[in-house]
Amino acid sequence: MVSDRDTTWPPTEIGAAAVERNLKAGEALFHRGDKVARLFEVIDGQVRLSRIDTSGHEILLYVAGPGETIAEASLFSPVYHCDAVASSAATVRAYPKAAVLAAFDKNPKAAQAFTATLARQVMNLRTRIEQRNIRSARERLRHWLHINAGADGRTVVIAGTLKDIAAELGLTHEALYRNLAALERHGEIKRGPGMIVLLRAGKPQGRV
* DSSP one-letter string for 155-185: EEE--S-HHHHHHHHT--HHHHHHHHHHHHH
pLDDT score recorded for residue 19 = 92
Task: Inform me whether the pLDDT recorded for 204 exceeds 60.
Answer: no
Mean pLDDT of the chain: 83
Q: Which of 5-19, 58-72, 124-138 shows the lowest per-residue confidence on average (mean pLDDT)?
A: 5-19
**Per-domain residue ranges of the chain:** 4-131, 136-198
Burial class from Cβ neighbours inside 10 Å (0-12, 13-18, 19+) for residue 100 reads buried
Task: Inform me whether the pLDDT recorded for 132 exceeds 80.
Answer: no
CATH code given to domain 4-131? 2.60.120.10
Percent of the chain with pLDDT over 90: 38
3-state DSSP percent of the chain in helix, strand and coil, to 5: 40, 25, 35
pLDDT score recorded for residue 57 = 78
pLDDT score recorded for residue 1 = 26
pLDDT score recorded for residue 6 = 38
Q: Which CATH number fits domain 136-198: 3.30.379.10, 3.40.50.300, 1.10.10.10, 3.40.50.720?
A: 1.10.10.10
**If pLDDT is split at 50, 70 and 90, which confidence band does 8 have?**
low
Q: At 173, give phi and psi (nearest 5°).
A: -65, -25
Task: Inform me whether the pLDDT recorded for 201 exceeds 60.
Answer: no
Please write the tens of the pLDDT for every residue from 52-111. Answer: 878 887 788 888 888 888 878 788 889 999 999 998 899 999 999 988 888 888 888 878
Percent of the chain with pLDDT over 70: 90
Task: Confirm whether 4-131 and 136-198 share one CATH topology.
Answer: no
pLDDT score recorded for residue 78 = 92
Three-state DSSP class for residue 146: helix
